[in-house]
């Protein structure tokens, strides 16, 4: 009987139990408070009811009572706050080694692309027991990627990436909903999360792929001519992109930003916004020239040339961060010097 009348969705991710525990705690606390209020209303109504010949008398306040009924709720609220913060940070912090999947939302479908190149629409295949990080954007309006059984939901915005992650704990097929009203067919913007045993998943993954997303990105990088400026030596007119991902980048305006997915994306679509120190504003925007999927592929490619050896990742990050940056800045200075020295002979030739 109770199986046919579930109170909440199945718990199918490592986060689900944490969210449910907090939710049940909130239900118990608020339920007990509501009960207390109702009991006191009935008790006081009976105890202090109007009686013939008895007059109401003024009751002075009680400091002890006020301290008690302020302190206890305060402590309960602080427990809710701290517990909620712990669950929130768990949900908001994808593990560093999570498998990355790109999601593009549009009216009214979900387009999914795996790092290995597999593409899906309104479906997402994932293996059980592996951390999966979704890097999501929208090509039109705001959507929201909601998997009730995993207890995760994240808005998907046009013009930037948002991220959510999960680790599925049970094979099965779970609902995917758009949870942000996004137009007439919003209610039809649904899909399935298909959680498979690792062997099954590998078999699915090996069928009909178009090649790794990063290889697609490399092809686009070449086709768009990016490589003519973003050279892998120090002679390029644009920054060398090898090893850039995840590192701090010094900007022309003095700020330092981290080269994450959103930064790379912004550099492709609005190159002037956060220009790297030492480089000229010569890069054209690719806004309107590349699709969201192509931007994802380019970002995946730039990441792949930064993180090619995950095993050495920590050492590379620590050891090369500073030299990389200074190389890039040196390169910029060299280019400026070159530009000046190039300009000189040209002028003399003209004369």
Q: Enumerate binding residues for Cu ion (CB under 5 A).
A: 143, 178, 182, 189
What is the Cα 282 distance to its own chain's centre? Answer: 30
**In terms of CB distance, is 145 or 221 closer to Cu ion?**
145
User: Tokens standing for 6?
Assistant: 């579930």
Q: How many CB atoms sit inside 10 A of residue 265's CB?
A: 20
**In terms of CB distance, is 134 or 305 closer to Cu ion?**
134
**In terms of CB distance, is 23 or 181 closer to Cu ion?**
181
SS3 75: helix
What is the Cα 145 distance to its own chain's centre? Answer: 11
Dist CA 161 CA 103 (whole Å): 9
CB of 191 to Cu ion, least distance (A): 11
CB of 195 to Cu ion, least distance (A): 22
Torsion 111-113-118-122 (CA) sign:
negative
CB of 137 to Cu ion, least distance (A): 13
CB of 143 to Cu ion, least distance (A): 3
Residue count of the chain: 351
Is-contact 249 325, C-beta < 8 A?
Answer: yes
**In terms of CB distance, is 180 or 325 closer to Cu ion?**
180
CB of 113 to Cu ion, least distance (A): 18
**In terms of CB distance, is 25 or 177 closer to Cu ion?**
177
Dist CA 274 CA 248 (whole Å): 12
């Amino acid at each position: 009987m109770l199986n046919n009348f579930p109170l909440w969705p199945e718990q199918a991710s490592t986060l689900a139990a944490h969210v449910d525990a907090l939710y049940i705690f909130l239900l118990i606390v608020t339920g007990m408070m509501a009960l207390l209020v109702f009991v006191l209303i009935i008790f006081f109504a009976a105890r202090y009811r109007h009686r013939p010949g008895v007059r109401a008398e003024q009751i002075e306040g009680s400091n002890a009572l006020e301290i008690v009924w302020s302190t206890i709720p305060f402590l309960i609220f602080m427990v809710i706050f701290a517990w909620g913060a712990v669950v929130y940070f768990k949900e908001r912090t994808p593990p560093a080694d999570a498998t990355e999947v790109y999601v593009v939302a549009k009216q009214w479908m979900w387009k999914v692309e795996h790092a290995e190149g597999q593409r899906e629409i309104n479906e997402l295949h994932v293996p059980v027991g592996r951390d999966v990080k979704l890097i999501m954007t929208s090509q039109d309006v705001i959507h929201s990627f909601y998997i009730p059984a995993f207890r995760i939901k994240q808005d998907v915005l046009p013009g930037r990436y948002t991220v959510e992650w999960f680790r599925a704990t049970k094979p099965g097929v779970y609902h995917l909903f758009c949870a942000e009203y996004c137009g007439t067919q919003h209610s039809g913007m649904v899909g399935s999360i298909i959680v498979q045993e690792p062997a099954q998943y590998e078999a699915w993954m090996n069928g009909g792929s178009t090649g790794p997303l990063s290889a697609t990105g490399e092809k686009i990088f070449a086709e768009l001519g990016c490589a003519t400026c973003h050279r892998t030596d120090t002679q390029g007119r644009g920054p060398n992109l090898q090893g850039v991902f995840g590192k701090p980048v010094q900007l022309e305006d003095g700020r330092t930003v981290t080269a994450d997915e959103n930064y790379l994306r912004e550099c492709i679509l609005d190159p002037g916004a956060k220009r790297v120190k030492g480089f000229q504003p010569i890069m054209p925007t690719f806004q309107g020239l590349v699709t969201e999927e192509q931007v994802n592929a380019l970002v995946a490619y730039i990441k792949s040339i930064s993180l090619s050896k995950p095993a050495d990742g920590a050492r590379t990050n620590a050891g090369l961060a500073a030299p990389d940056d200074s190389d890039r800045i040196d390169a910029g200075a060299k280019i400026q010097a070159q530009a000046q020295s190039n300009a000189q002979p040209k002028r003399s030739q003209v004369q």
